[in-house]
Structure 1
Amino acid sequence: MQKRKIGRVFEALDRNADGLLEETDFAALTERWAELGDVGPGSPEHVRLIVVMMGWWRTLLAASAGTALDTVTMDDVLGVIDDLGELRNPVTATATTLFDAVDEDGDGLVTATEYRRMIEAWSGRSTDTDEVFPLLDLDGDGLLSRAEFAELWTDFWAGDDPRSPGNWVFGRFELPVPQYQ
Protein backbone atom coordinates (compact mmCIF):
# COMPACT_ATOMS: atom_id res chain seq x y z
CA MET A 1 0.00 0.00 0.00
CA GLN A 2 2.82 2.43 0.83
CA LYS A 3 4.28 1.98 -2.65
CA ARG A 4 0.95 2.83 -4.30
CA LYS A 5 0.26 5.96 -2.33
CA ILE A 6 3.88 7.18 -2.31
CA GLY A 7 4.16 6.37 -6.03
CA ARG A 8 1.62 9.07 -6.87
CA VAL A 9 3.57 11.62 -4.86
CA PHE A 10 6.88 10.51 -6.39
CA GLU A 11 5.50 10.83 -9.91
CA ALA A 12 4.24 14.34 -9.20
CA LEU A 13 7.64 15.36 -7.85
CA ASP A 14 9.59 13.75 -10.71
CA ARG A 15 9.04 16.60 -13.16
CA ASN A 16 11.03 15.06 -16.03
CA ALA A 17 9.57 11.56 -15.46
CA ASP A 18 12.97 9.86 -15.45
CA GLY A 19 12.29 7.83 -12.29
CA LEU A 20 14.73 9.91 -10.26
CA LEU A 21 14.22 12.82 -7.92
CA GLU A 22 16.69 15.66 -7.99
CA GLU A 23 17.25 18.69 -5.79
CA THR A 24 15.57 20.88 -8.40
CA ASP A 25 12.37 18.84 -8.00
CA PHE A 26 12.22 19.75 -4.31
CA ALA A 27 13.16 23.38 -4.95
CA ALA A 28 10.39 23.69 -7.56
CA LEU A 29 7.81 22.17 -5.19
CA THR A 30 8.92 24.52 -2.41
CA GLU A 31 8.36 27.51 -4.68
CA ARG A 32 4.94 26.25 -5.85
CA TRP A 33 3.87 25.91 -2.23
CA ALA A 34 5.28 29.32 -1.35
CA GLU A 35 3.07 30.81 -4.06
CA LEU A 36 -0.04 29.33 -2.42
CA GLY A 37 0.02 31.63 0.57
CA ASP A 38 1.80 34.39 -1.29
CA VAL A 39 4.84 33.80 0.91
CA GLY A 40 7.41 36.39 -0.11
CA PRO A 41 11.05 35.49 -0.72
CA GLY A 42 13.08 35.97 2.44
CA SER A 43 10.02 36.02 4.71
CA PRO A 44 10.13 33.77 7.80
CA GLU A 45 7.45 31.53 6.24
CA HIS A 46 9.44 31.19 3.02
CA VAL A 47 12.63 30.38 4.89
CA ARG A 48 10.77 27.78 6.98
CA LEU A 49 9.35 26.15 3.83
CA ILE A 50 12.82 25.98 2.30
CA VAL A 51 14.35 24.54 5.48
CA VAL A 52 11.67 21.85 5.80
CA MET A 53 11.47 20.80 2.15
CA MET A 54 15.18 20.89 1.48
CA GLY A 55 15.74 19.07 4.79
CA TRP A 56 13.64 16.21 3.43
CA TRP A 57 15.67 16.33 0.23
CA ARG A 58 18.90 15.97 2.22
CA THR A 59 17.37 13.11 4.26
CA LEU A 60 16.38 11.27 1.08
CA LEU A 61 19.72 11.92 -0.60
CA ALA A 62 21.61 10.62 2.44
CA ALA A 63 19.51 7.45 2.30
CA SER A 64 20.00 6.91 -1.42
CA ALA A 65 21.84 3.70 -2.07
CA GLY A 66 24.08 3.55 -5.10
CA THR A 67 21.96 5.76 -7.35
CA ALA A 68 23.36 8.26 -9.76
CA LEU A 69 25.04 11.27 -8.19
CA ASP A 70 22.57 13.57 -6.46
CA THR A 71 19.44 11.58 -7.32
CA VAL A 72 16.92 9.58 -5.32
CA THR A 73 14.90 6.59 -6.52
CA MET A 74 11.46 5.40 -5.46
CA ASP A 75 13.13 2.61 -3.47
CA ASP A 76 15.21 5.21 -1.61
CA VAL A 77 12.03 7.10 -0.71
CA LEU A 78 10.32 3.91 0.45
CA GLY A 79 13.33 3.11 2.63
CA VAL A 80 12.98 6.45 4.41
CA ILE A 81 9.19 5.99 4.63
CA ASP A 82 9.76 2.71 6.48
CA ASP A 83 11.51 4.68 9.24
CA LEU A 84 8.93 7.46 9.54
CA GLY A 85 7.05 5.72 12.32
CA GLU A 86 10.05 6.59 14.49
CA LEU A 87 10.33 10.12 13.07
CA ARG A 88 6.87 11.45 13.88
CA ASN A 89 8.12 14.83 15.10
CA PRO A 90 9.70 15.85 11.76
CA VAL A 91 6.60 14.59 9.93
CA THR A 92 4.32 16.63 12.18
CA ALA A 93 6.59 19.68 11.84
CA THR A 94 6.33 19.33 8.07
CA ALA A 95 2.55 19.16 8.34
CA THR A 96 2.50 22.35 10.40
CA THR A 97 4.72 24.18 7.91
CA LEU A 98 2.65 23.10 4.93
CA PHE A 99 -0.60 23.84 6.72
CA ASP A 100 0.59 27.43 7.16
CA ALA A 101 1.43 27.62 3.45
CA VAL A 102 -1.91 26.11 2.41
CA ASP A 103 -3.99 28.23 4.80
CA GLU A 104 -4.04 31.13 2.36
CA ASP A 105 -6.18 33.47 4.46
CA GLY A 106 -4.41 32.63 7.73
CA ASP A 107 -7.61 31.76 9.60
CA GLY A 108 -6.24 28.49 10.99
CA LEU A 109 -8.47 26.37 8.76
CA VAL A 110 -8.07 24.83 5.31
CA THR A 111 -11.09 25.05 3.04
CA ALA A 112 -11.88 22.66 0.20
CA THR A 113 -10.60 25.31 -2.22
CA GLU A 114 -7.32 25.77 -0.33
CA TYR A 115 -6.89 21.98 -0.23
CA ARG A 116 -7.45 21.74 -4.01
CA ARG A 117 -4.83 24.44 -4.58
CA MET A 118 -2.38 22.50 -2.41
CA ILE A 119 -2.87 19.36 -4.49
CA GLU A 120 -2.57 21.34 -7.71
CA ALA A 121 0.64 22.95 -6.45
CA TRP A 122 1.98 19.51 -5.60
CA SER A 123 1.09 17.91 -8.90
CA GLY A 124 1.49 20.97 -11.12
CA ARG A 125 -1.84 20.30 -12.83
CA SER A 126 -5.54 20.99 -12.39
CA THR A 127 -7.12 18.40 -10.09
CA ASP A 128 -10.66 17.66 -8.97
CA THR A 129 -10.63 17.08 -5.21
CA ASP A 130 -14.37 17.32 -4.55
CA GLU A 131 -14.63 13.57 -3.87
CA VAL A 132 -11.59 13.40 -1.60
CA PHE A 133 -12.03 16.43 0.66
CA PRO A 134 -15.06 15.05 2.54
CA LEU A 135 -13.05 11.89 3.31
CA LEU A 136 -10.38 14.05 4.93
CA ASP A 137 -12.78 16.26 6.88
CA LEU A 138 -12.71 14.12 10.02
CA ASP A 139 -15.29 16.11 11.98
CA GLY A 140 -17.56 16.88 9.02
CA ASP A 141 -17.46 20.69 9.43
CA GLY A 142 -16.36 21.38 5.85
CA LEU A 143 -12.89 22.50 6.97
CA LEU A 144 -9.58 20.96 7.95
CA SER A 145 -8.18 22.18 11.26
CA ARG A 146 -4.46 22.24 11.95
CA ALA A 147 -4.91 19.11 14.13
CA GLU A 148 -6.88 17.26 11.43
CA PHE A 149 -4.30 18.18 8.80
CA ALA A 150 -1.39 17.02 11.00
CA GLU A 151 -3.16 13.74 11.75
CA LEU A 152 -3.93 13.11 8.07
CA TRP A 153 -0.44 14.09 6.93
CA THR A 154 1.21 11.84 9.51
CA ASP A 155 -1.10 8.94 8.64
CA PHE A 156 -0.26 9.35 4.95
CA TRP A 157 3.49 9.31 5.41
CA ALA A 158 3.95 7.10 8.46
CA GLY A 159 0.79 4.99 8.57
CA ASP A 160 -0.08 1.75 6.86
CA ASP A 161 -3.71 1.25 7.86
CA PRO A 162 -5.71 0.83 4.63
CA ARG A 163 -8.80 2.24 6.39
CA SER A 164 -7.13 5.52 7.40
CA PRO A 165 -8.55 8.67 5.75
CA GLY A 166 -4.96 9.96 5.70
CA ASN A 167 -4.28 7.66 2.76
CA TRP A 168 -6.21 10.08 0.56
CA VAL A 169 -4.23 13.26 1.41
CA PHE A 170 -2.84 13.41 -2.14
CA GLY A 171 -5.96 11.99 -3.78
CA ARG A 172 -7.48 8.61 -4.37
CA PHE A 173 -5.51 5.64 -5.57
CA GLU A 174 -6.35 2.00 -6.01
CA LEU A 175 -5.89 0.06 -2.80
CA PRO A 176 -4.05 -3.25 -3.06
CA VAL A 177 -6.20 -6.36 -2.99
CA PRO A 178 -5.65 -8.27 0.26
CA GLN A 179 -3.82 -11.58 -0.20
CA TYR A 180 -5.34 -14.38 1.86
CA GLN A 181 -3.47 -17.57 2.52
Structure 2
Amino acid sequence: MVSDFRKKKLIFLFKIFFDSDGSGSITKKDFEMSIERLAKAKGWEAGDEKYKLAEKTMLEIWEGMLYKADENKDGEISVDEWISLWEESSKDSPVDWQAYYCKSIFRLQDSSNDGAIDKEEFVSVHESFGLPQEQTSEAFDKLACGKDSVSWEDFQQRWEEFFTSEDADAPGNYIFGRLNFD
Protein backbone atom coordinates (compact mmCIF):
# COMPACT_ATOMS: atom_id res chain seq x y z
CA MET A 1 0.00 0.00 0.00
CA VAL A 2 1.25 3.46 -0.91
CA SER A 3 1.73 5.69 2.14
CA ASP A 4 -0.20 8.96 2.47
CA PHE A 5 2.99 10.94 1.81
CA ARG A 6 3.83 9.07 -1.40
CA LYS A 7 0.18 9.26 -2.47
CA LYS A 8 0.28 13.07 -2.13
CA LYS A 9 3.38 13.19 -4.35
CA LEU A 10 1.79 10.93 -6.95
CA ILE A 11 -1.46 12.89 -7.00
CA PHE A 12 0.49 16.13 -7.42
CA LEU A 13 2.33 14.62 -10.39
CA PHE A 14 -0.93 13.30 -11.84
CA LYS A 15 -2.71 16.65 -11.61
CA ILE A 16 0.08 19.03 -12.62
CA PHE A 17 1.98 17.12 -15.27
CA PHE A 18 -0.40 14.54 -16.68
CA ASP A 19 -4.07 15.48 -16.36
CA SER A 20 -3.59 18.56 -18.54
CA ASP A 21 -7.28 19.18 -19.10
CA GLY A 22 -8.27 18.61 -15.45
CA SER A 23 -10.74 15.86 -16.32
CA GLY A 24 -9.67 13.55 -13.48
CA SER A 25 -8.08 11.01 -15.80
CA ILE A 26 -5.07 10.86 -18.11
CA THR A 27 -5.69 10.40 -21.81
CA LYS A 28 -3.65 10.62 -24.99
CA LYS A 29 -5.03 14.15 -25.43
CA ASP A 30 -3.40 15.15 -22.12
CA PHE A 31 -0.04 14.02 -23.48
CA GLU A 32 -0.60 15.98 -26.67
CA MET A 33 -1.39 19.08 -24.60
CA SER A 34 1.80 18.54 -22.58
CA ILE A 35 3.84 18.37 -25.77
CA GLU A 36 2.35 21.69 -26.87
CA ARG A 37 3.19 23.32 -23.52
CA LEU A 38 6.77 22.05 -23.64
CA ALA A 39 7.14 23.20 -27.25
CA LYS A 40 5.92 26.66 -26.33
CA ALA A 41 8.33 26.86 -23.38
CA LYS A 42 11.25 25.69 -25.52
CA GLY A 43 10.33 27.75 -28.58
CA TRP A 44 9.84 24.72 -30.84
CA GLU A 45 7.58 24.78 -33.87
CA ALA A 46 5.46 21.73 -34.78
CA GLY A 47 7.77 20.72 -37.65
CA ASP A 48 11.05 21.14 -35.74
CA GLU A 49 13.16 18.06 -35.11
CA LYS A 50 13.13 18.65 -31.35
CA TYR A 51 9.34 18.95 -31.40
CA LYS A 52 9.01 15.72 -33.38
CA LEU A 53 11.36 13.91 -31.01
CA ALA A 54 9.51 15.19 -27.94
CA GLU A 55 6.19 14.19 -29.48
CA LYS A 56 7.45 10.69 -30.36
CA THR A 57 8.93 10.26 -26.89
CA MET A 58 5.86 11.47 -25.01
CA LEU A 59 3.51 9.30 -27.05
CA GLU A 60 5.71 6.25 -26.48
CA ILE A 61 5.59 6.96 -22.75
CA TRP A 62 1.80 7.27 -22.99
CA GLU A 63 1.51 3.88 -24.70
CA GLY A 64 3.73 2.18 -22.12
CA MET A 65 1.87 3.79 -19.26
CA LEU A 66 -1.55 2.97 -20.70
CA TYR A 67 -0.59 -0.66 -21.23
CA LYS A 68 0.52 -1.06 -17.61
CA ALA A 69 -2.04 1.11 -15.83
CA ASP A 70 -5.35 0.91 -17.70
CA GLU A 71 -6.85 -1.90 -15.64
CA ASN A 72 -10.41 -1.49 -16.98
CA LYS A 73 -9.24 -0.97 -20.60
CA ASP A 74 -11.20 2.26 -21.14
CA GLY A 75 -8.29 4.12 -22.76
CA GLU A 76 -7.82 6.38 -19.74
CA ILE A 77 -5.81 6.26 -16.54
CA SER A 78 -7.75 7.19 -13.40
CA VAL A 79 -6.14 8.43 -10.18
CA ASP A 80 -6.61 4.98 -8.61
CA GLU A 81 -5.01 3.26 -11.62
CA TRP A 82 -2.17 5.79 -11.48
CA ILE A 83 -1.43 5.09 -7.83
CA SER A 84 -1.71 1.36 -8.38
CA LEU A 85 0.75 1.64 -11.27
CA TRP A 86 3.40 3.25 -9.08
CA GLU A 87 2.67 0.98 -6.13
CA GLU A 88 3.32 -2.09 -8.26
CA SER A 89 6.41 -0.60 -9.88
CA SER A 90 8.00 0.30 -6.55
CA LYS A 91 8.18 -3.39 -5.67
CA ASP A 92 10.65 -4.11 -8.46
CA SER A 93 13.31 -2.30 -10.40
CA PRO A 94 11.90 0.28 -12.83
CA VAL A 95 10.13 -1.16 -15.83
CA ASP A 96 11.09 -0.12 -19.34
CA TRP A 97 8.62 2.73 -19.77
CA GLN A 98 9.60 4.25 -16.42
CA ALA A 99 13.31 4.21 -17.21
CA TYR A 100 12.48 5.68 -20.61
CA TYR A 101 10.29 8.31 -18.96
CA CYS A 102 13.08 9.27 -16.55
CA LYS A 103 15.63 9.62 -19.36
CA SER A 104 13.17 11.55 -21.52
CA ILE A 105 12.35 14.05 -18.79
CA PHE A 106 16.05 14.56 -18.18
CA ARG A 107 16.68 15.18 -21.90
CA LEU A 108 13.73 17.57 -22.18
CA GLN A 109 15.08 19.64 -19.32
CA ASP A 110 18.71 19.53 -20.48
CA SER A 111 18.11 21.89 -23.40
CA SER A 112 21.80 22.66 -23.78
CA ASN A 113 22.56 18.93 -24.16
CA ASP A 114 25.55 19.24 -21.85
CA GLY A 115 24.59 16.26 -19.68
CA ALA A 116 23.27 18.32 -16.77
CA ILE A 117 20.22 20.39 -15.90
CA ASP A 118 20.90 23.89 -14.64
CA LYS A 119 18.46 26.11 -12.78
CA GLU A 120 17.33 28.06 -15.84
CA GLU A 121 16.52 24.86 -17.75
CA PHE A 122 14.68 23.39 -14.78
CA VAL A 123 12.63 26.50 -14.09
CA SER A 124 11.60 27.02 -17.73
CA VAL A 125 10.16 23.52 -18.06
CA HIS A 126 8.26 23.66 -14.79
CA GLU A 127 6.92 27.14 -15.53
CA SER A 128 5.41 25.72 -18.74
CA PHE A 129 3.27 23.51 -16.50
CA GLY A 130 2.09 26.47 -14.46
CA LEU A 131 4.41 26.25 -11.48
CA PRO A 132 5.67 29.59 -10.12
CA GLN A 133 9.24 30.61 -11.00
CA GLU A 134 10.16 31.41 -7.40
CA GLN A 135 8.96 28.01 -6.19
CA THR A 136 10.70 26.05 -8.95
CA SER A 137 13.90 28.01 -8.40
CA GLU A 138 13.87 27.10 -4.71
CA ALA A 139 12.96 23.50 -5.55
CA PHE A 140 15.95 23.32 -7.89
CA ASP A 141 18.27 24.46 -5.10
CA LYS A 142 17.00 21.66 -2.88
CA LEU A 143 17.16 19.12 -5.72
CA ALA A 144 20.73 20.11 -6.68
CA CYS A 145 22.00 19.91 -3.07
CA GLY A 146 24.12 23.05 -3.40
CA LYS A 147 25.47 22.35 -6.89
CA ASP A 148 24.93 24.52 -9.97
CA SER A 149 23.43 21.65 -11.95
CA VAL A 150 21.97 18.18 -11.68
CA SER A 151 23.89 15.47 -13.56
CA TRP A 152 22.23 12.44 -15.14
CA GLU A 153 23.48 10.27 -12.28
CA ASP A 154 22.07 12.68 -9.69
CA PHE A 155 18.81 12.91 -11.61
CA GLN A 156 18.35 9.13 -11.61
CA GLN A 157 18.90 9.00 -7.85
CA ARG A 158 16.47 11.88 -7.24
CA TRP A 159 13.92 10.25 -9.54
CA GLU A 160 13.96 7.07 -7.50
CA GLU A 161 13.70 9.09 -4.29
CA PHE A 162 10.61 10.88 -5.55
CA PHE A 163 8.75 7.66 -6.26
CA THR A 164 9.96 5.53 -3.33
CA SER A 165 11.15 7.72 -0.46
CA GLU A 166 9.13 8.33 2.69
CA ASP A 167 11.61 11.00 3.79
CA ALA A 168 9.96 14.43 3.44
CA ASP A 169 13.42 16.03 3.22
CA ALA A 170 14.80 13.80 0.45
CA PRO A 171 16.16 15.93 -2.43
CA GLY A 172 14.20 13.83 -4.93
CA ASN A 173 10.93 15.24 -3.62
CA TYR A 174 11.74 18.43 -5.54
CA ILE A 175 12.35 16.84 -8.94
CA PHE A 176 9.00 18.03 -10.24
CA GLY A 177 9.40 21.58 -8.92
CA ARG A 178 7.16 21.39 -5.89
CA LEU A 179 8.21 22.45 -2.39
CA ASN A 180 5.46 20.59 -0.52
CA PHE A 181 2.52 18.34 -1.28
CA ASP A 182 -0.09 19.58 1.18
Shorter chain as denominator, the TM-score bin is: 0.7 to 0.9
Does the aligned pair in 1 maintain the 2:64–2:97 contact within 8 Å?
A: no
SS state of the match for residue 148, structure 2? coil
Give the structure 2 partner of residue 15 of structure 1: 20
1:60 and 2:75 are equivalent in the alignment: no
Q: How does 1:100-115 map to 2 (within 5 A)?
A: 100-115=107-122
Q: How does 1:32-43 map to 2 (within 5 A)?
A: 32-38=37-43, 41=46
Matched residue count? 171
Does the aligned pair in 1 maintain the 2:127–2:133 contact within 8 Å?
A: yes
The one-letter amino acid paired with 1:154 is E
1:169 and 2:175 are equivalent in the alignment: yes
The one-letter amino acid paired with 2:22 is A
Give the structure 1 partner of residue 142 of structure 2: 135
The one-letter amino acid paired with 1:7 is I
RMSD: 2.6
Does the aligned pair in 1 maintain the 2:20–2:31 contact within 8 Å?
A: no
Which residue among 145, 150, 161 is the counterpart of 2:151?
Answer: 145
- Normalised TM-score (structure 1): 0.77
Say which structure is richer in helix.
Answer: 2
Give the structure 1 partner of residue 105 of structure 2: 98
Q: Distance in 2 between matches of 1:81 and 1:132?
A: 23
Question: Per-residue deviation at 1:40?
Answer: 5.8
Change (3 A) 1:156 1:47: farther
1:71 and 2:76 are equivalent in the alignment: yes
Does the aligned pair in 2 maintain the 1:92–1:154 contact within 8 Å?
A: no
Does the aligned pair in 1 maintain the 2:61–2:101 contact within 8 Å?
A: no
Q: Distance in 1 between matches of 2:94 and 2:81?
A: 16
The one-letter amino acid paired with 1:142 is D
Change (3 A) 1:141 1:61: closer
Q: Which runs of 5+ in 2 are unaligned?
A: none
Question: Per-residue deviation at 1:29?
Answer: 1.2
Change (3 A) 1:19 1:112: same
